Chains A and B, each alone.
Chain A
Amino acid sequence: DAKTTQPPSMDCAEGRAANLPCNHSTISGNEYVYWYRQIHSQGPQYIIHGLKNNETNEMASLIITEDRKSSTLILPHATLRDTAVYYCIVRVHAGGYQKVTFGTGTKLQVIP
């Protein structure tokens, strides 16, 4: 019951910005968009999240469209260590909280 769709794979040249899109057209007004990444054989790592305003932290920027139906994760200067699977997640309501379920993700390959 993942609520997001992402392209299965993308390439990015080292040093360039990586822009990873995500569609979440059924998102509700109070649901946050979260981004995680998973480097091979490790647990998923939190990157960033947002509700409706654009967000930036030391790892990435998150751009959310005004209608909130899509978002873009931006890695401003991709390095080889950014090669990973990136998951866009909208947490699903489950009573008094929101459970975390994964879509298929985007496999980002950073090329030297």
Chain B
Amino acid sequence: DAMVIQNPRYQVTQFGKPVTLSCSQTLNHNVMYWYQQKSSQAPKLLFHYYDKDFNNEADTPDNFQSRRPNTSFCFLDIRSPGLGDTAMYLCATSGQTMNTEAFFGQGTRLTVV
């Protein structure tokens, strides 16, 4: 059974048109992460939540926002997508102890046209 579910798997959006990607988890984990992965690159952490506390990476563009209305759900909002935002977006969750692994969703492949 999938434990971290991302919807949709594929998304095409127009340049400048706001888009929202969603992630849900059944693991009741405190921490949820959003990553951007461009072609042939490693995943890059955009931001993460520890419960409701939001933590932005220093180099994450302001164009990227996130919401976590409850433990199970987390959303990535791209306010005005540019062509350079075409990428795979990965959601992950983890417990707060160091001895627990992170679980990843299958990602949403976003194409900006």
Contacting pair A44 B98 (CB below 8 A): no
**CA separation between A67 and B50, bound complex, in Å?**
31
Contacting pair A44 B101 (CB below 8 A): no
**CA separation between A91 and B106, bound complex, in Å?**
21
Total interface residues on A, using CB and 8 Å? 28
* A87-112 interface bits toward B, Cβ cutoff 8 Å, 1 = contact, 0 = none: 10001001111111111110000000
Q: Which residues on the A side are within 8 Å of B102 (C-beta)?
A: 34, 46, 100
Given A44-B90, A100-B92, A101-B45: A31 in contact with B103 (beta carbons within 8 A): no
Q: Which residues on the B side are within 8 Å of A44 (C-beta)?
A: 43, 90, 92, 104
Contacting pair B101 A96 (CB below 8 A): no
Contacting pair B50 A43 (CB below 8 A): no
Contacting pair A97 B96 (CB below 8 A): yes
Total interface residues on B, using CB and 8 Å? 28
Given A43-B105, A45-B104, A46-B103: A102 in contact with B44 (beta carbons within 8 A): yes
Contacting pair A99 B31 (CB below 8 A): yes
A interface SS class: loop
Contacting pair B42 A87 (CB below 8 A): yes
Instruction: State how many angstroms separate the Cβ of B63 from the closest Cβ of chain A.
Output: 21
Interface centre among B101, B103, B106 (most CB of A within 10 A): B101
Interface residues of A (CB under 8 A from B): 30-32, 34, 36, 41-46, 49, 51, 85, 87, 91, 94-105
Top 3 nearest A-B pairs (CB, nearest first) are A43-B104, A97-B96, A102-B42
Given A85-B42, A98-B98, 16 other A-B residues pairs in contact with their CB atoms under 8 A: A31-B98, A32-B99, A34-B101, A43-B4, A43-B92, A43-B104, A43-B105, A43-B106, A44-B43, A46-B103, A95-B50, A97-B30, A97-B31, A97-B94, A99-B45, A102-B44
